[in-house]
Structure 1
Amino acid sequence: MPVIVRPEDYDVWLDPKRDMEEVIALMRPYDGDNFAVRAVAPPMSRYDTLQPSMF
Structure 2
Amino acid sequence: MASDATLRDYLAAKAMNGILSNSGMIDSVTNQTLEWVAKSAYQAADAMLKARG
Query: What is the TM-score normalised by the length of structure 1?
Result: 0.33
Question: Which structure features the higher share of helix residues?
Answer: 2
Query: Highest Rg: 1 or 2?
Result: 1
Query: What is the TM-score normalised by the length of structure 2?
Result: 0.34
